[in-house]
Chains A and B, each alone.
Chain A
Amino acid sequence: MTRPLLEIEGLSKSFGGVAAVDRVSLALEPGRIYGLIGPNGSGKTTLFHCVTGVERRDAGRVRFNGERIDGLEPHAIARRGIGRTFQIIRVFPELTALENLLVVTRGSLAGAEARARELLRFVKLDGLVHEYAGNLSYGQQRLVEFVRVLMRDPSLILLDEPAAGVNRTLLNDLLEAVRRLRDDGKTILLVEHDMKVVMGLCETVFVLDHGEKIAEGPPGVIQADERVIEAYFGR
């Protein structure tokens, strides 16, 4: 086994009395696509928030490339190479699509612009580069958020329901893009409710229920796991 890129150990976070994430441990190896699934409210988004520093964890450790990152500020975590999208879209509405991408880059603006335009072309938004992101459709905003993450060239990408609201044709492009990122050596952790997407894309799936990790394994095995079936349909 190669050294994990991301290592989560005993991560917990509760809101009031609710344990949103409950002693979760998992490890991600470089160059793979992972799925994170679970019923509504099972803690998937909270897990993302804790890893990226958006929420402060209550307990547990997070290591990235062997280095502790829990407790760091979100921007410091992002700069180490973790990019993410949000379940509830967070584009910068009064910046144009192009500016949304340019603003997050380092280095020269001119170099960044060529790359930004290429990415926007890839998600078929080349006609809308100067449109305010807030004026784009829901699906288009998701795509802007997705390519914005790529501008910083992160080695780990956390995607929180990237397919929601994106039309079928673009969805296929998006999934293809995720595979290509993996082929480039990136690691992707994907939250997705559409089981077809998860089963077709992910090599390993983690299942959360009430904040606890109840299963981990290849999609086929997970689908037949009794605890998983119970979590989804049982109660």
Chain B
Amino acid sequence: MRPRTAFRVGLVLLVAALAAYPAVGTGYGVRAMLQIFMWVALAASWNLISGLTGYVSFGHVAFFGAGAYTGAILITSAGWSWPAAALAGGLGACVVALVIGYPCLRLKGPYFAIAMLGLNEVLRALVSYFEGLTGGGNGISLPTLEATVPVYYAMGVAAAAVTLLAYLVITSRFGLRLMTIREDEVAAEAMGIDTARHKLYAFLLSAAGPGIVGALAARDQGYIEPISVFPLATTITMIVMVLFGGKGTVWGPVLGAVVLFVSQELVWARFPYLHQLLFGSIIVAVVLLMPRGVLGLLQQKYHLPRTI
């Protein structure tokens, strides 16, 4: 079998196994997988804007939170079904991205990163303030509903969809153009590439996934509050996952999400303090020793396509 065929067969088998898993897995196992799916979707989304264009979004969890609140409000106040609310969560996040992307994507380097950090704080403050709609600091409780397995599938589909989207983008000329923004924005403009428009499109694409999984997570947890859906730590985790796996590649964020989540679970359970230390060490080690991440390193070294 050629490697490509083998890879495809493996992928199909993996999807089949994941689809069958809730029938045989433990409750803990299903919950863990559900979270891995969520992290894959988040990391792969961050990669779309930051891995490709080099615009480091330091507040990407804002879209997760925007989706969570959109979904939760629609479910509780408007009686929407959670799948519809999840899609609306993605849309809500895109609206936020559209409103703030236009001014913020003009900022360069650290200024964009800080502006995104600020956005997250502003959103958190806004949902705390508009108590009538959001419950303020008390948060929102969703009607009880046992939906772990359906949400597992929904998260799985979201993870697969974002990964497929990343594949389509990275193998297209649109994706190459996003990379020229990372490589040299001045040259890209001088070559006729409308960088502002391309950045905005990438930003919108990168907001949809977090918005959807934010709404799914809200449904899954049954309760949200400002501090639970806008934590800076979630953004940092996304970033570390992508940097570890390899930014700008298709499978890097997936690898990063799986490896980091699993190692976190293993260590977290046993050594809660060590966990922080380990996480910090991984960040430092990746940045110092392997700035391209695992797959990025392989890709550069062996001239592999970015679709690894």
Contacts and interface: CB of A to CB of B under 8 A. Distances in A.
Partners in one complex: yes
Interface of A: 52-54, 73-76, 78-79, 83-84, 86, 90-95, 99, 102-105, 109, 130, 132, 148-149, 152
A92 B192 contact: no
B190 A130 contact: no
A187 B85 CA distance: 58
Interface in B160-194: 173, 176-177, 179-180, 182-184, 186-194
Contact of A103 (B176, B194, B303): B176
5 contacts: A54-B186, A78-B191, A84-B190, A94-B182, A95-B180
B195 interface: yes
A103 B184 contact: no
Contacts of B196: 73
Of A76, A78, A102, chain B has the most CB atoms within 10 Å of the CB of: A78
Contact of A109 (B173, B187, B189, B192): B173
A94 B192 contact: no
B179 A95 contact: yes
B243 to A, nearest CB: 16
Given A90-B187, A130-B303, 8 more contacts: A54-B189, A75-B189, A84-B190, A90-B186, A92-B184, A94-B179, A103-B173, A104-B191
B183 A95 contact: yes
B68 to A, nearest CB: 35
A99 B176 CA distance: 8
Contacts of B300: 132
A54 B191 contact: no
- Chain B interface SS verdict (over half): helix
Contact of A78 (B179, B182, B189, B303): B189
B187 A75 contact: no
Contact of A152 (B189, B192, B194): B192
B108 to A, nearest CB: 15
Nearest to A52: B190
A132 B180 CA distance: 13
B192 A103 contact: no
A93 B180 CA distance: 9
Contacts of B177: 103
Given A92-B183, A94-B183, A109-B173, A74 B190 contact: yes
A94 B180 CA distance: 9
Contacts of B180: 92, 95, 103
Contact of B183 (A74, A93, A102, A105): A93
Nearest to A145: B187
